[in-house]
């Protein structure tokens, strides 16, 4: 029997910090992170090279009240540290699942994780390791969506997979409007003109300029990541 080859050989998976919370109000839900790692392990066994950019909203949410009135740059640096914590938790869960993970940070914390160096990241991917990019771009005022677009372009990813709790982009909020329908695909220009809010404007513009497609899908759905990697109709594809 012939086994179908993956449609993508190298992917950049964008995980929000909130995706790690499960049903908790903040923090990391261990069962949730283990399930996500199992999905990632499944696609690596297909020979797909996987890099991950992770947000920090789940941890930063727990201290957000104290950040009111704080200087924006300071708050953003706190958020970067939260992404490092999430990256370490994700890498630990991967190691326990038999994956080899390397965390690379955009800010220097060499006693904890290694700094981001593009050639080293490419080497790790070629060796079959999962690379987890932490600390966003290393700059305040830029989101982890922008970091995903930037790292995806730098490593030559074929697609940025934006993992959410919703299985794609809809014409309206599917939780509020039962008539809302899912877009199978749409262009960057269409998404911007309709103000769909898929990613922040900087990230979206970078993906469009680099002709780096984005697929929005639900990380909650079992097997969804594998179906996306195999090129099946899952989520919403945004293309240049």
Tokens of 1: 């029997």
Residue 183, annotated as binding a ligand: no
140 annotated as ligand-binding? yes
pLDDT for 147-189, tens place per residue?
999 999 999 999 999 998 889 999 988 888 889 999 999 999 9
213 is in an annotated binding site: no
Domains of the chain: 10-239 (3.40.1160.10)
Ligand-binding site membership of 138 (annotated)? yes
- 56 carries a ligand binding annotation: yes
| Residue 170 counted as an annotated binding residue | yes
Is 217 marked within a binding site?
A: no
Q: Is 136 annotated as a binding-site member?
A: no
Tens of each residue's pLDDT in the chain, 240 residues: 456 789 899 999 999 888 888 777 777 888 889 999 999 999 999 999 999 999 987 776 555 555 567 888 988 898 899 999 999 999 999 999 999 999 999 999 999 999 999 999 999 999 999 999 999 999 999 999 999 999 999 999 999 999 988 899 999 888 888 899 999 999 999 999 998 889 999 999 999 999 999 999 999 899 999 999 999 999 999 998
Per the DSSP assignment, residues forming a β-bridge with 216 are 162, 236
Query: HSE-up of 231 (CA within 13 Å, CB side)?
Result: 9
Distance, CA of 55 to CA of 87 (rounded, Å)? 9
Q: What pLDDT sits at residue 173?
A: 85
Confidence at residue 59, expressed as pLDDT on a 0 to 100 scale = 75
173 marked among binding-site residues:
yes
Question: What is the distance in angstroms between the CA of the first residue and the CA of the last residue of the chain?
Answer: 36
Per the annotation, does 14 bind a ligand? yes
Q: Which token pair is 238?
A: 């945004």
Alpha carbon of 53 to those of 17, 122, 170, 176: distances in Å? 10, 15, 24, 30
Look up the pTM and report it. Answer: 0.92
**Any known ligand binding at 144?**
yes
C-alpha Rg value of the chain to the nearest Å: 17
Q: In Å, what is the CA distance from 73 to each residue of 11, 83, 105, 145, 160?
A: 30, 15, 18, 17, 27
Is 179 within any annotated ligand binding site? no
Q: Check the CA dihedral 29-32-33-34 and report its sign.
A: positive
Q: Dihedral angle at the C-alpha atoms of 208, 210, 211, 212, nearest 10 degrees?
A: -90
Was 62 annotated as part of a binding site? no
pLDDT at 92: 95
- According to the annotation, is 139 in a ligand binding site? yes
- Whose CA is closest to 165, among 224, 213, 205? 224
Is 7:156 a contact under the CB 8 Å cutoff? Answer: no
């Amino acid at each position: 029997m012939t086994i179908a080859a993956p449609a993508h050989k190298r992917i950049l998976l964008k995980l929000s910090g909130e995706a790690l919370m499960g049903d908790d109000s903040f923090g990391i839900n261990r069962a949730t992170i283990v399930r996500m790692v199992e999905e990632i392990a499944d696609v690596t066994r297909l020979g797909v090279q996987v890099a991950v950019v992770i947000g920090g909203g789940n941890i930063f949410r727990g201290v957000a009240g104290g950040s009111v009135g704080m200087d924006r740059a300071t708050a953003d640096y706190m958020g970067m540290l939260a992404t490092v914590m999430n990256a370490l938790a994700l890498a630990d869960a991967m190691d326990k699942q038999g994956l080899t993970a390397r965390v690379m940070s955009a800010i220097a914390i060499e006693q904890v994780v290694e700094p981001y160096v593009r050639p080293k990241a490419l080497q790790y991917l070629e060796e079959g390791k999962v690379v987890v990019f932490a600390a966003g771009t290393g700059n305040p005022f830029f989101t982890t969506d922008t970091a995903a677009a930037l790292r995806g372009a730098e490593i030559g990813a074929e697609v940025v997979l934006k993992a959410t709790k919703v299985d794609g982009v809809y014409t309206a909020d599917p939780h509020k409007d039962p008539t809302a329908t899912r877009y199978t695909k749409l262009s960057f220009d269409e998404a911007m003109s309709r103000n769909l809010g898929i990613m922040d404007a900087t990230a979206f513009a970078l993906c469009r300029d680099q002709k780096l497609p984005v697929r929005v899908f639900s990380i909650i759905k079992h097997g969804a990541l594998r179906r996306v990697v195999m090129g099946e109709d899952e989520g919403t594809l945004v293309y240049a």
